[in-house]
Amino acid sequence: MSARSRIFLILIGLVGILSIVGFIYWRVDYALKAEMSLHAHLQILEVLKTYLRENPGKWPKSWEELEQTSIPEEHQRVYHWPNQSVEFQKRIQIDFTLTRAQVAAMNVHDFTAIQSIGPTFGLYDDEIEGLLRVARDEGQVPLSKKK
C-alpha cells in the first residue's frame, strides 16, 4: 500500500469519526434543549393553572400580565418564575388572543393555547388535561360544549 493510499484511508477514517462525534453532539444538544423546554412547559402549565384560579373567567393577555402570577417554591423547576420569564418566552408561545372559554372548549388533541418554540419532547396529555380542567372549572363553556 502506498503512502498516498494510507493518507487517503486515514483521512476517510478521520472524517468518519468526526461525523459520528458531530452527530452525537447534535443529538445530545437537541435532547438537552428539549429537556429544558419540557421543564419550562410543565412549569408554565402550573403558572397558568394558578392564574386561572386567581382570575375567574379570564385568560392572560400578555406575558407581563402572566408575570403578576407567582407560584410556590415547590413548583419551581429549572427556571425560576417569574424572575426568568425571558427563558420561558424563548421556549414557549402562549396564544394570548384566546379567551378562557375558547381554551376550556379545547381537548388534548386540538390544544393550541401553548406551543413549543424549538426542540421539544411534547407535552404530556395528562398535564394538558389538568390545565383544561381548571379552565373549565370557572370557564364560560356550557357542559354540552366540553370535550
**According to the model, what pLDDT value does residue 124 have?**
81
Output the CA–CA distances (angstroms, integers) from residue 135 to 47, 100, 120, 127, 144, in the order listed. 13, 6, 24, 13, 15
Q: Can you give the pTM of this predicted structure?
A: 0.78
**According to the model, what pLDDT value does residue 60 have?**
98
CA-based end-to-end distance of the chain: 72
> What does the pLDDT look like over 68-89, one tens digit per residue?
999 988 878 788 899 999 999 9
- The residue extents of the domains of the chain are 35-145
Q: Which DSSP helix (H) or strand (E) runs through 7?
A: helix 3-54
Q: Which DSSP helix (H) or strand (E) runs through 41?
A: helix 3-54
**According to the model, what pLDDT value does residue 128 have?**
93
**According to the model, what pLDDT value does residue 22 have?**
93
Whether 112 contacts 106, CB under 8 Å: yes
> What does the pLDDT look like over 91-120, one tens digit per residue?
999 999 999 999 999 999 999 999 989 888
Q: What does the DSSP assignment read for 89-134?
A: HHHEEE-TT--HHHHHT--GGG--SEEE-SS-----HHHHHHHHHH
**According to the model, what pLDDT value does residue 122 have?**
74
Whether 100 contacts 125, CB under 8 Å: no
